[in-house]
Amino acid sequence: MPTYNVRGVDVDFPYEAYDSQLVYMDKVMQSLQEEKNALLESPTGTGKTLCLLCATLAWRKSLGSFTTGLSLKTSDKGKTEISLSQSGASKFPAIVYASRTHSQIRQVIQELKRTSYRPKMTVLGSREQLCIHEKVKLLRGKTQTNACRSACRRRAKPKHQCNHFQNVPEYLKHNPNLGEEPVDIEDLVNIGRTSGPCPYYLSKELHKAVDIIFAPYNYLIDRGYRSSLQLSWSNSVLIFDEAHNLEGICADAASFDLPSWLLTACITEVQSVVDLLIVRRNNSNDKSQNPDDFAILKALLLKLEKRIAEVHIESKELGFTKPGPYIFELLADLNITQKTASKLKSIIADAATLLEEENQEKSTGTICRLDSIKDILDIVFKDGGTSHAKYYRVHVKEVEAWGANSSKGQVSRTLSWWCFNPGIALEGFAKEGVRSIILTSGTLSPLDSFAEELKLDFPIRLENPHVIGPNQIWAGVVSVGPLGRTFNSSYRTRDTTEYKQELGNAIVNLARIVPDGLLVFFPSYYLLEQSIGCWKSMSNENSASIWERICKHKKPVIEPRESSLFASSIKDYLTKLNDTTASGAVFFAVCRGKVSEGLDFADHAGRAVVITGLPFATSIDPKVRLKREYLDQQSGAQGQSFKVLTGDEWYNQQASRAVNQAVGRVIRHRHDYGAIIFCDERFAQPHRQSQFSKWIQPHIKCYSRFGEVVFTLTRFFRDGRTRGSTKLSLLEAENGGNLGKMPSSEPFKDKFHMEKLLQPLPTPMTPNCTSKASSLLDTKKGHTSFVGRILPANRSSLSSDRRLTVGCDSSSDTHETILHKRRTVLSQEPDGFDLGDSCQLGEKSKNMLIAPCFTKKRRFIAGEYDLKQHFGNSNEQSPSGSQNAQGDIDQCKDNVTSQSRNTEFLRQKDNLPADSTPSTADGTQGSAFLAQVRDKLSAAEYIDFVGYMKALKTKTLKISEVLLSISRLFSGPERLPLLKRFKDYIPAKYHSLYEQYVEGKVD
């Protein structure tokens, strides 16, 4: 295993590291050593998680050995307590590694297993994930939590007691080494099922004596759960992976919404408690609880309900808004203050306990709503002060009630207290003396706004490049559609039929060109539904609708609004994607939706992503409007310790971050390739592009004609197929010739499982470039340091850091692309190419079939071709980049030039299609004819001519389709002589057929 010296610390890494990975580890190490916060962006597929683990654990190991064993002792009260058995181990910093979901934590632990590091570890999960109690595991949410707590109490009735909870100390006593090998949630559950201890409390006990803890990051943000963790936060290290939504989650965690229906449910529950206690007092003279306390609670809630109902709302759209401190005034009218809140919370906790006990007796799974009132009081009276209220706004909105029991015309109100400073959710860490906070993700850009929102100082920052080569990505802004109409999804144009029709026609063409999986993201569900509705309705007797034409090329799937239907939509997409009778699938989704968050559309699952517009939040939404107003007020205030965004800056950057997140669904690993297509003219604006992730920016080109997009995209995917055999050799080499161990390029095949979408691909093992040693990142065991001349995207050089020297030559990446298990053929459809006259590529775009349709056979037959198979020898050189008549391929001329130059079309006399019998053509005539063809055709047309010649020889297209395409290519007065002479180069049995095309052109 290679070992790298990073800032004086030896880091074991499972593979030969790319230089971008080494730069990333250097930034992590700097943050840990200098006790500073870091904001690190590194694209998906660059091995970010593995780098983070290796650097952090190497630093921790450099301080002292990892923890081993456990020590259990019994307290004076008879309670078994866990402690460290290793003397002095507690002085070392605790590492808390947090990610968004349990599924992502599972992936992180899989990455830990790849490393050589074996710290004492545990993973914290919810009861929903870990509970194995026969009855409690069937519950959810607060109901499950309360049921679990009741079952674990010593005074719980024997039939309700949890024996699994009682078994935890005994299991730990006999298994002190638990956690020294990586364990995830499934491992803990299996231990519980086979040996008896409760997995949930096993992990909670284990966390007191470990080197690293893995947990979803709401466990850290939630003050209640955080306080339950027995950790020394002082000098600890917090890592938030997949942190791109952290500011939103922090703000939501510090806010609350209290709708009328929830308040009514709470009042009903309190009344149930009162009734229950009255019955107990009458039946058994049980006076342990006073019903009057709960009657007072009910009276307060009724008064709050009335107070909210009496709020004067002048405008339904604007609602009722007051500054944050108004919440104290409103509650004070109910005699709810700092002094009375603690007593009130105690009464609520007792009421919830009584309800849960009653529900258990009746074996009902009713959810207890009262806890939500307690949570609200915790938020409002946080830390016993009121200063945090300045970051809030009180809002009351009114909506029409819904539900079967609602009366017509009845309205429902919601009281909200919204936090607009997400930094207050993290400020507690700074007060508790946390050593370093590292935030990382594949999509954090723009970094400045991210740091400003969280109100934390991040002196260490990184925007890493990708590890892919430039030939593995196509990124372009498509300003116009096939008919030359402008793409702009703003409210001025998005509802017009012309816009939706133009967008639909563009997607028809993209569905032809892009192989396999295509992702199309809309700014909102409204636009998605309106567009698809338009495409389905726009048809006539003589032509298919736009929707039917899309379905002709790819089977469609639409992201549902309902979360409960999402899993089935993913399953549907995977099924259609792997259907060999079709040419792939297209997923119509929404930015900020579930498809755009965290799912892995690697390889053939996502060959291209289309962004149809800027996903601005609804400007009239009260929360959005008030957030903008709040930021504008803060930016105008003096004496701010942090730079504050204006409302407009925040509004725009939220849209850009959502775009970056959607774009991140494709190109998921080193050998992947794909296209990013921005179908909105506003993406061409420099300030918009500056907010894209830095790794994307260098690849973006702007196209003024749709034909240019079709041409360059077609060639991009053709080139991707031609490199497949080279990739196979590379993968064989990386895996010792064993393809059975090869990283799968089709992780979604056969059996559907949601986690497979989230499965990270292995970090690439073999870099494709040479390297030189650096003064900082030295190597051991004969392994070199940097591999490739790649610098952080936000640094032009690393010369400013004298300890870090990057200097090596990287070899070309032109031969490394992902294997594709399907074959491609050119479109066999006779209906031509959907381009309008305004976006022609010479004469070709109007009449020719140039967009490939990927059908079951999927055999690639176009691209570079050696014309010596058809013509005689000649010393003439091919033109290097001549433009077509209209000059429509300026932006892609360099690529055409390169391909034309690389082809070096050699000729060989009389090597014609297998069954051809040329009667007059000899080598000289073939050379002369080829020279004329080059002279008359543009560079782009000439490349297509090569493809048709190969199709003619290999018989992979119907002869009629080849002849039709050639006849269209040679249309026009200047090219008719070529059309007639070409007859000599086709099989004799097809001469009569070809003459029909010639006559049609002459007439």
Task: From residue 974, give the alpha-carbon distance in Å to each of 806, 936, 971, 979, 980.
Answer: 56, 8, 8, 10, 12
CB 488 within 8 A of CB 682: yes
Q: How far apart are CA 440 and CA 454, in angstroms?
A: 14
Is it the case that residue 762 has pLDDT exceeding 50?
A: no
Residues linked to residue 808 through DSSP beta bridges, in sequence order: none
Lowest mean pLDDT among 330-344, 927-941, 948-962: 948-962
- What average pLDDT is seen over the chain? 75
* pLDDT at residue 225, as a whole number: 77
Which residue in the block uniquely carries the two structure tokens 């460290």? Answer: 84
Cis, bond preceding 446 (omega within 30 deg of 0) = yes
Tokens of 798: 């690393």
Sorted by sequence, the CB contacts under 8 Å of residue 802 that are 6+ apart come out as none
259: pLDDT strictly greater than 70: yes
Tokens 């993973």 -> residue? 123
pLDDT of residue 726 exceeding 50, the answer is no
Tell me which amino acid residue 244 is. H
DSSP-assigned letters across all residues of 484-548: SPBP--STTTTTSHHHHHHHHHHHHHHHHHS-EEEEEEES-HHHHHHHHHHHHH--BTTB--HHH
Query: What pLDDT score was predicted for residue 629?
Result: 93
Is residue 81's pLDDT more than 90? Answer: no
Identify the pLDDT of residue 286: 66
Classify the C-alpha dihedral 397-402-408-410 as positive or negative: negative
> With contact defined as beta carbons under 8 Å apart, do 663 and 589 qualify?
no
Cβ-count burial of 570 within 10 angstroms (0-12 exposed, 13-18 middle, 19+ buried)? Answer: buried
> Which residue type sits at 542?
N
Of 961 and 263, the one with more pLDDT: 263
* CB-CB contact of 661 with 807 (8 Å): no
**pLDDT band per the 50, 70, 90 thresholds, residue 638:** low
The answer to whether residue 963 scores a pLDDT higher than 60 is yes
pLDDT at 732 over 50: no
Whether residue 99 contacts residue 213, with contact meaning beta carbons closer than 8 Å, is answered with: no
**Residue pointed to by tokens 């009366």:** 407
Query: pLDDT at residue 113 above 90?
Result: yes
The length of the chain in residues reads 1003
**Is residue 255 pLDDT above 50, yes or no?**
yes
pLDDT at 715: 92
The yes-or-no verdict on residue 76 having pLDDT over 90 is: no
pLDDT band at 681 (very low <50, low <70, confident <90, very high): very high
DSSP string over 905-973: ----TT---TT---SS--HHHHHHHHHHHHHHS-HHHHHHHHHHHHHHHHT-S-HHHHHHHHHHHT-SG
| Average pLDDT of span 19-35 | 94
Compute CA distances 435 → 18, 52, 335, 994, whole Å. Answer: 28, 16, 41, 78
Return the axis-axis angle of helices 706-722 and 893-903, rounded to nearest 10°: 40
Which of 308-312, 355-359, 647-651, 685-689 has the lowest average pLDDT?
Answer: 355-359
Portion of the chain with pLDDT greater than 70, in percent: 71
Where is pLDDT greater, at 917 or 389?
A: 389
Residue 263 has pLDDT above 90, yes or no: yes
Q: Considering only CA atoms, which of 206, 241, 238, 204 is closest in space to residue 93? A: 238
pLDDT of residue 436: 93
Q: What's the mean pLDDT in 951-956?
A: 66
> What Cα–Cα distance (Å) separates residue 257 from each residue in 237, 300, 395, 397, 623?
32, 18, 9, 10, 11
- Show Cβ contacts of residue 807 under 8 Å, excluding neighbours closer than 6 positions: 772, 774, 786, 789
What confidence category does residue 116 fall into, taking pLDDT thresholds of 50, 70 and 90?
A: very high
CA distance 632 to 618: 18
pLDDT of amino acid 887: 31
Of 136-145, 436-445, 795-804, the poorest mean pLDDT is in 795-804
Nearest to 175 by CA among 161, 188, 185, 162: 188
3-state DSSP assignment of residue 412 = strand
More confident call, 28 vs 166:
28
Question: Is the Cβ–Cβ distance between 701 and 475 less than 8 Å?
Answer: yes
pLDDT at 934: 78
Q: Would you state the pLDDT for residue 77?
A: 55
Q: How many CB atoms lie within 10 A of CB 640?
A: 12
* Secondary structure class of 20 (helix, strand, coil): helix
Question: Which pLDDT band, with edges at 50, 70 and 90, does 568 fall under?
Answer: very high
Greatest Cα pair distance, the chain, in angstroms, is: 117
Q: Look at 648-662, 805-819, 915-929 and tell me which has the smallest mean pLDDT.
A: 805-819
Half-sphere exposure of 287 (CA within 13 A, CB side): 1
Q: Tell me the per-residue pLDDT of 207-235, one tens digit each, with 9 for 90 and over.
A: 888 899 999 888 888 877 777 777 778 88
> Which pLDDT score is estimated for 125?
86
φ and ψ of 472, to 5 deg: -100, 0
Residue 458's alpha-carbon distances to 40, 49, 310, 448, 461, in angstroms, are 10, 20, 46, 9, 7
* pLDDT average, residue stretch 310-333: 92
C-alpha–C-alpha distance, residues 769 and 723, integer Å: 18
Cα gap 205→189, rounded to integer Å: 15
3-state helix, strand, coil in the chain (%, to 5): 45, 10, 40
pLDDT at 612 over 80: yes
Residues 6+ apart with CB under 8 A from 975: 936, 969
Please give the backbone phi and psi of residue 839, each rounded to the nearest 5 degrees, phi first. -130, 40
- Residues 334-374: tens digit of each pLDDT: 999 988 998 999 999 888 888 877 776 666 656 778 889 99
* Residue 880 pLDDT exceeds 90: no
Closest CA to 913 of 966, 979, 987, 991: 987
Per-residue model confidence as pLDDT tens digits over 123-152:
998 888 889 888 888 877 777 887 788 788
Q: Label the pairing between strands 80-83 and 71-74.
A: antiparallel
Spatial contact of 779 and 791, defined as CB atoms under 8 Å apart: no
pLDDT for residue 305: 94
CA angle 436, 463, 44 (to 5 degrees): 95
DSSP letter at 288? S
d(CA 720, CA 499): 32
Give me the pLDDT at residue 261, please.
Answer: 92
Residue 103: exposed, middle, or buried by beta-carbon count in 10 A (0-12, 13-18, 19+)?
Answer: middle
**Helix and strand counts by DSSP (H, E) for the chain:** 36, 23
Structure tokens at 404: 């079967």
Average pLDDT over residues 21-25: 94
pLDDT in tens, 499-526: 999 999 999 999 999 999 999 999 999 9
24 within 8 A of 438, measured Cβ to Cβ: no
The residues, ordered by sequence, that sit 6+ positions from 149 with a Cβ below 8 Å of its Cβ are none
Lowest average pLDDT, out of 48-62, 359-373, 488-502, goes to 359-373
| Per-residue confidence band for 645, with pLDDT thresholds at 50, 70 and 90 | confident
Residue pair 171/197 in contact (Cβ under 8 Å)? The answer is yes
Sheet with 3-6, side-by-side order of all strands: 9-12, 3-6, 778-780
